[in-house]
Structure 1
Amino acid sequence: MAFTIDFLDDGRVIEWNTTVDGAIPTERDDYTPRFYVAARDPDVDSGLTTLQSVYNQHPGVVTTEMVTRRPSFRRDEETVLAVDVAHIDRVTPLARQIRQLSDYPIGDLACFNVDFSREFRYCLENGVDPTPACEISTLRLSVPVSETNNEIYRKLSVGGDTVAGSPVEILNIVQTALEDQDPDILVCSTSDIIPTLHEMATEAGVDDFSMSRLPNVGYQQLASRSTYSSYGRVGHSPARYNVPGRVIIDESNTFFYGETNLDGVLDLVSRSKKPIQELAWASIGNVLTAIQICEAHDRGVLVPWNSWRHEFYKPMGTLHDADRGGFIFAPEVGLHEDVHELDFSSLYPNIICTRNVSPDVIRCDCHREREDVPELGYSICDEQGYLVDVLQPIIDARDEIKAAIRREKQRDNPDEERLAELEGRSGALKWILVACFGYQGFSNAKFGRIECHEAINAFAREILLTAKQRLEAGGWRVVHGIVDSIWVTPDPDIDDENREDLNALATEITECVEIRLEHEAHYDWVAFVPQRESDAGALTKYFGKVAGEDDFKIRGIEARQRSTPPFVEDVQRDCLEQLNATRSPDAVLDCLQDAINRLQAGTVTVEKLVERNRISKPLERYTQNTQNVAALKRAREQDFAVHPGQDIEYVVVDDEKNSRERVALAHEEVESYDVPYYETQLIRAVESVLSPLGWDRTEIRRELAETRVPELTAFARTKKS
């Protein structure tokens, strides 16, 4: 139960286990990482024996041996070369040398089990479960944005308490907290806190400062910062650091900890065998791959270094049919009363499990004559695929957790701590299930296959179309549907006594398609928003009032967009309240007018007007003088580094300017803001609310320009600023 593993520069490996008395280190000096080499074509002499003799002479290799393993799920066991390496950092260089051995008689070879992260490799090869055996403790360290680029911190938050003073004073407070609390996990607002504090200690002559649990070992840098692009979106990966004996969670570089909580992270640790530190910075696909690798390891299947799977031949007609996504029913723009939302539970993962869609069994050779996949005619083997074994336990676990959440909420005095734990675990599993479908079509997926991606979509289209037809036959009118969700309202042409019960219909559809169709929500009304430049409905922009509750479900509009200033979001939500209470555009416009009045009077706090946008490239590569460019110029002027993929926050102070004076950074003292600019933002947000009723921003502006007499309802709402 080693919750973290350290690889020291001197070659030592140390496991850290949690006990009731604290963390206990166990040193190992006999660990030798292993990778494998196999022939791409098992029927061709690949020269593995020659390669073995070459490796046996290499100083970085401890030993080699011929063993039997499966190079892929579609191949049987065969002889492969296992190479044990002296140091974990030598695995990749040694594997890469195969490509340089042109002077030796070796054939077309492939390497396996190469690019594993360090702690994950250790756990996998040694059968170590990195789930902590006892409760683990945390300490949070954070610095204000204005301090992040300083070589010396003047302020620092330690365990929620902000401290300020000289470097020696700050270092003493951090050291005291570490000694008193002895945390297993350091949750840092940025991982740069670690090297900065150690460098401060060096400059100040504080020789005994250390965040490590090991004497004479401070910290290690695991990776430098980098910028990457994924599906057209630029991201930033901060530098990563390691403190021996403790786990580092960088809040600026963690998905699962940010989206769920520590309980969610620990649930995935137990499933993926990735220790906490590695799982915290890992992507969804990275964790899903780790879970798949664990399954492959249990089956004796090797993991390809550079995955390459040719796409099976298919006729042009099949290629055309396969290149489609999920089924979509265009939403009916407007406000619809008495709407029910039905969702298929984990549709894509359940399609994989109920239809046995897996890379190792799709289009198998043994059932070529069968056409198991609708529209495409692909065959699926009767033998259960490995992907089913990966996902079914996750589906079952999430169903159990969701049931436990429902039971807890139904209690007279729900245990909030227990609820937080369950919801964190449920959220973590949800993200894995969300990603499992798309990852089948990802070119770098270790075990993905595009035919699986195509088959899942084909099954999904058939399932949603089946649901639509049955619901309509039962007296319900479909107003929108997308992939795994469908919205219906009573068909006005069908009498109530002839309309079938919705829950009964959902049960019937569930039995028909073998995937549970759940009643997700009942809305008093739902409004579907048109596209900005068209009368057609936007697929993912809608809002509605949940029946019997005070909540609104909001998707796609400004209140759900991360760049929207809080003031604009608050006003939009106020407008939704007015629309719900009155169904009157006039009441909404009164709300808008009131917000504009507050802007013009200067009573809106600057903090409520901060915009947050992601930087997509370096300052020099921008060709237009956008607000982001102005913000980047101000940041550079203040020696404040913002890298592509990171966010920058600012307030627009004069949008007419083209210089750095156009905006002010969020941490600066801002005395004024650009009222016309924020008026435009408000009008845009209100347009989203009123567009389902046929209003656009031109009509909104024209109405505002006229003398307005506020309705009485406008005075009853709660003011927000």
Structure 2
Amino acid sequence: MPFTIDFLDDGRTLEWDETPDGPVVTERDDYTPRFYIAPRSPGSDLDLTKLQAIYDRHPDVVSTEIRSRRPSFRRDEEPVLAVDGVHIDRVSSLANQARQRTEYPIGDLACFNVDFSREFRYCLETGIDPTPAADLSMLRLSVPMTEAGNETYTELSVAGETISGSPMDILTAVQAALETHDPDILVCSTSEIIPALYKMATAAGVDGFTLSRWPDIDYQQLASQSTYSSYGRVGHSPARYNVPGRAIIDESNTFFYGETNLDGVLDLVSRSKKPVQELAWASIGNVLTAIQICEAHERGVLVPWNSWRHEFYKPMGTLHDADRGGFIFAPEVGFHEDVHELDFSSLYPNIICTRNVSPDVIRCECHRDRDDVPGLGYSICDERGYLVDVLEPIIDARDKIKAAIRHEQQCKDPDEDRLTELEGRSEALKWILVACFGYQGFSNAKFGRIECHEAINAFAREILLTAKQRLEVGGWRVVHGIVDSIWVTPDPSVDEANRTDLETLSSEISTTVDIRLEHEAHYDWVAFVPQRESAAGALTKYFGKVDGKDEFKIRGIEARQRSTPPFVKDVQQECLERLDATRSPAAVLSSLEAAIEKLHAGDVAVEQLVERNRVSKPLEGYTQNTQNVAALKRAHDQDVAIHPGQDIEYVVVDDKKTSRERVALAHEEIKSYDPSYYETELVRAVESLLSPIGWDRSKVRRELAETRVTELTTFANTEQD
């Protein structure tokens, strides 16, 4: 079970296994990557043998053959052309040549199994499970942001120890750590550390420095850095590198390792056949696609290079009904006592599994007259869909893991290492389940279909309405509901003796809809926040006190926002505690006033005022002099590289200015800050807490001013006495 696979330029492949006795490498020279070519439409009479003869003469092709495969889930087996290349990096260029052949009408040929990542392709085609057979050793290398863009480092953290000094000192420390730990995984704060260390070694004349376990290759560059946009959000993808014999985890370019841990990564490795290095940089959709491809491979179904699924014809009325999201009960703005939160367990994935919603069976021809999807009239075939086989094992596994977590937590002496492992695995699977619904409507999804997306939403709306009606009949009032969650409080018009307990209602609803409705939490009170410019409730902004515990649940307000400075978060948390203890806006204002006084006295550490914002464009792309622009100008002056999609951290030192002097970068020596700016941020945070009871920012300001006037008057009277 190799944990990483390397591909050499001469066609050889290296499989690296971790064993109790250390790493073992297996060298292979017989691997030939394969892709397929088939007519785009079923029933075509295209002659593939002519194309086969052309490929047989190609120098980058090892062999070809006509095989029987299914070009899609909705097509039976038919003859396709299989092409084996000499090297894994030649697949895309070979496939492109098929689409450029003038002998075939444009659009009549389609290529399959083309755009797979390298290690994933190898594991899929050879049947290898890349789950490590033994524990993997790790070594972390980290460079400060101020050093990241430099060709020569003067400071580097190696296994948690900061090394400062000459390049020779740093290189010696890295080489010593490699010999001591012999890591299977190199965890780097940025992947640029890898080429930078080799450049330092060359410049310093250091012979024999290497990170690699293979003597002939130091490292390989797999991809260049790039900027991308996804759902309106700009992201940055740094360059990717490979070190033979070791997996690389780039902390600046990893979702699953950052959101979970190595246990979560390894759980998904076993399900997706993507080895550690590829799993670490992969997105949620990328991993979900890999799991789907594995299922398709088992069924003999090929994977399209580019998705070209047309949307089924729909009347205008159906288009209107289908173009809706999940059901929402607008929150009742204000404070609500004795609130219970109920959640459907993995609602969308469970809808897929219990209703058999899958791209290969939705709107099937064999049941076209059937009305299986509520309100849309879509049919769903009785044959089990492939997506059910993809998700059901993940749902079941997460349920078992969550049960194991609860059991471990209830133990008198819980095993913390075991808890960390279970929580990492649970979190990793959660993200896959979260993404499985939206991915069905993604235009680039390999097997997605918009009708699946629409059907899942239709079932979800029906389920939430069913739950609402049963809860209300049982004597409960719904104060908010969104997609898969409902907040209820006892209906004051119903006697307690006539009210059905929530455990009974949840059980009844679960049986009715065939998806478990769980009691998520009981709150002493919950406050739903209005929108900034409206009296209507904000759908995802609320806070509440958990019953019987000294903790709050917070969503959407400043304390949960990644850009909010720590000081503002702390003050909002303190004000929340005062509000819970006193139910008094005056008590909250007292805390706010004390924080403002501390700000203006200069008693707040600048580290507590750092803001973190994402950069959406390069510096020259901005037309307004925002704080981000000021920060980018300072970074540019200091040769600190900040790319679109990355975060920049700074302290506002004079918000009235429009130049680079408006802010100071977090790593700089900062002597002062702008107290008026941060006062405004504090007032905004307190407004979020008091807005459910009708206080907006102007009222908070007015009450603060009156308090200050009263204090000054009292002070003056005391002086006269």
Shorter-normalised TM range: over 0.9
Q: Which residue of 2 aligns with 1:717?
A: none
Q: Which residue of 2 aligns with 1:716?
A: none
Q: Which amino acid aligns with 2:141?
A: L
Q: Which residue of 2 aligns with 1:719?
A: none
C-alpha change, 1:414 and 1:107, in structure 2 (3 Å) is closer
Q: Which residue of 2 aligns with 1:190?
A: 190
Relative to the length of structure 1, the TM-score reads 0.98
Q: Which amino acid aligns with 1:166?
A: S
Q: Which residue of 1 aligns with 2:130?
A: 130
Secondary structure of 2:424's match?
helix
Q: Which residue of 2 aligns with 1:659?
A: 659
Alpha-carbon offset, residue 99 of structure 1: 2.0
- State the distance in 2 between where 1:646 and 1:259 align: 17
- State the distance in 2 between where 1:607 and 1:668 align: 11
- State the distance in 2 between where 1:663 and 1:151 align: 27
Structure 2 counterparts to residues 293-692 of structure 1, below 5 A: 293-692=293-692
Contact 1:617 1:644 in 2 (8 A): yes
Contact 2:42 2:75 in 1 (8 A): no
Q: Which residue of 1 aligns with 2:695?
A: 695
Contact 2:37 2:109 in 1 (8 A): yes
Secondary structure of 1:639's match?
coil
Q: Which runs of 5+ in 2 are unaligned?
A: 712-721
Q: Which residue of 2 aligns with 1:212?
A: 212
Q: Which residue of 2 aligns with 1:714?
A: none
- State the distance in 2 between where 1:105 and 1:311 align: 24
- State the distance in 2 between where 1:463 and 1:275 align: 39
Q: Which residue of 1 aligns with 2:175?
A: 175
Q: Which amino acid aligns with 2:523?
A: Y
Contact 1:264 1:426 in 2 (8 A): yes
Secondary structure of 2:379's match?
coil
User: Residues 621-674 of structure 1: CA distance to partner in whole angstroms, max 9, x if unpaired?
Assistant: 111000000011111111111111111000000000010000001110000000
Q: Which residue of 2 aligns with 1:718?
A: none
User: Residues 349-372 of structure 1: CA distance to partner in whole angstroms, max 9, x if unpaired?
Assistant: 000000000000000000011000
Alpha-carbon offset, residue 44 of structure 1: 2.0
Structure 2 counterparts to residues 171-320 of structure 1, below 5 A: 171-320=171-320
Contact 1:17 1:25 in 2 (8 A): yes
Alpha-carbon offset, residue 106 of structure 1: 8.8
Q: Which residue of 2 aligns with 1:98?
A: 98
- State the distance in 1 between where 2:538 and 2:162 align: 46
Secondary structure of 1:595's match?
helix
User: Residues 573-616 of structure 1: CA distance to partner in whole angstroms, max 9, x if unpaired?
Assistant: 11111111111111111111111111111111111100000111
Relative to the length of structure 2, the TM-score reads 0.98
Alpha-carbon offset, residue 550 of structure 1: 1.2
- State the distance in 2 between where 1:416 and 1:185 align: 23
Structure 2 counterparts to residues 57-76 of structure 1, below 5 A: 57-76=57-76
Secondary structure of 1:651's match?
strand
User: Residues 260-280 of structure 1: CA distance to partner in whole angstroms, max 9, x if unpaired?
Assistant: 000000000000000000000
- State the distance in 2 between where 1:34 and 1:583 align: 68
Alpha-carbon offset, residue 522 of structure 1: 0.3
Alpha-carbon offset, residue 150 of structure 1: 1.2
Contact 1:46 1:107 in 2 (8 A): no
Secondary structure of 1:301's match?
coil
Structure 2 counterparts to residues 23-42 of structure 1, below 5 A: 23-42=23-42
Q: Which amino acid aligns with 1:137?
A: S
Q: Which residue of 1 aligns with 2:109?
A: 109
Secondary structure of 1:604's match?
coil
Contact 2:145 2:640 in 1 (8 A): no
- State the distance in 1 between where 2:180 and 2:94 align: 44
C-alpha change, 1:107 and 1:430, in structure 2 (3 Å) is closer
Q: Which amino acid aligns with 1:646?
A: Q
C-alpha change, 1:550 and 1:107, in structure 2 (3 Å) is closer
Contact 2:2 2:17 in 1 (8 A): yes
- State the distance in 2 between where 1:414 and 1:456 align: 39
- State the distance in 1 between where 2:710 and 2:97 align: 77
User: Residues 352-393 of structure 1: CA distance to partner in whole angstroms, max 9, x if unpaired?
Assistant: 000000000000000011000000010000000000000000
Alpha-carbon offset, residue 188 of structure 1: 0.6
- State the distance in 1 between where 2:33 and 2:360 align: 28
Contact 2:99 2:110 in 1 (8 A): no
- State the distance in 1 between where 2:106 and 2:451 align: 33
- State the distance in 1 between where 2:207 and 2:632 align: 38
User: Residues 412-440 of structure 1: CA distance to partner in whole angstroms, max 9, x if unpaired?
Assistant: 01111110100000000000000000000
Alpha-carbon offset, residue 104 of structure 1: 5.8
User: Residues 661-716 of structure 1: CA distance to partner in whole angstroms, max 9, x if unpaired?
Assistant: 000011100000000000000000010011011101101111111235999xxxxx
- State the distance in 2 between where 1:285 and 1:205 align: 44
Secondary structure of 1:707's match?
helix
Alpha-carbon offset, residue 463 of structure 1: 0.1
Secondary structure of 2:707's match?
coil
C-alpha change, 1:105 and 1:514, in structure 2 (3 Å) is closer
Secondary structure of 2:115's match?
coil
User: Residues 64-103 of structure 1: CA distance to partner in whole angstroms, max 9, x if unpaired?
Assistant: 0000000000111110000000011110001011122114
C-alpha change, 1:437 and 1:664, in structure 2 (3 Å) is same
Q: Which runs of 5+ in 1 are unaligned?
A: 712-721
Alpha-carbon offset, residue 216 of structure 1: 3.0
- State the distance in 1 between where 2:129 and 2:87 align: 22
Q: Which residue of 2 aligns with 1:15?
A: 15
- State the distance in 2 between where 1:287 and 1:401 align: 20
User: Residues 535-589 of structure 1: CA distance to partner in whole angstroms, max 9, x if unpaired?
Assistant: 0000000001111111111100011111000110111111111111111111111
C-alpha change, 1:107 and 1:420, in structure 2 (3 Å) is closer
- State the distance in 2 between where 1:160 and 1:454 align: 49
Matched, 1:152 2:156: no
Alpha-carbon offset, residue 107 of structure 1: 7.5
C-alpha change, 1:710 and 1:373, in structure 2 (3 Å) is farther
- State the distance in 2 between where 1:707 and 1:488 align: 38
C-alpha change, 1:8 and 1:710, in structure 2 (3 Å) is farther
Secondary structure of 1:2's match?
coil
Q: Which residue of 2 aligns with 1:705?
A: 705
Q: Which residue of 2 aligns with 1:120?
A: 120
C-alpha change, 1:336 and 1:70, in structure 2 (3 Å) is same
Alpha-carbon offset, residue 9 of structure 1: 2.4
Q: Which amino acid aligns with 2:96?
A: R
Contact 1:50 1:105 in 2 (8 A): no
- State the distance in 2 between where 1:105 and 1:584 align: 76
Q: Which amino acid aligns with 1:593?
A: E
Contact 1:47 1:107 in 2 (8 A): no
Contact 1:48 1:106 in 2 (8 A): no
- State the distance in 2 between where 1:123 and 1:46 align: 32
C-alpha change, 1:67 and 1:701, in structure 2 (3 Å) is same
State the Cα RMSD in Å. 1.2
Contact 2:99 2:106 in 1 (8 A): no
Secondary structure of 1:545's match?
strand
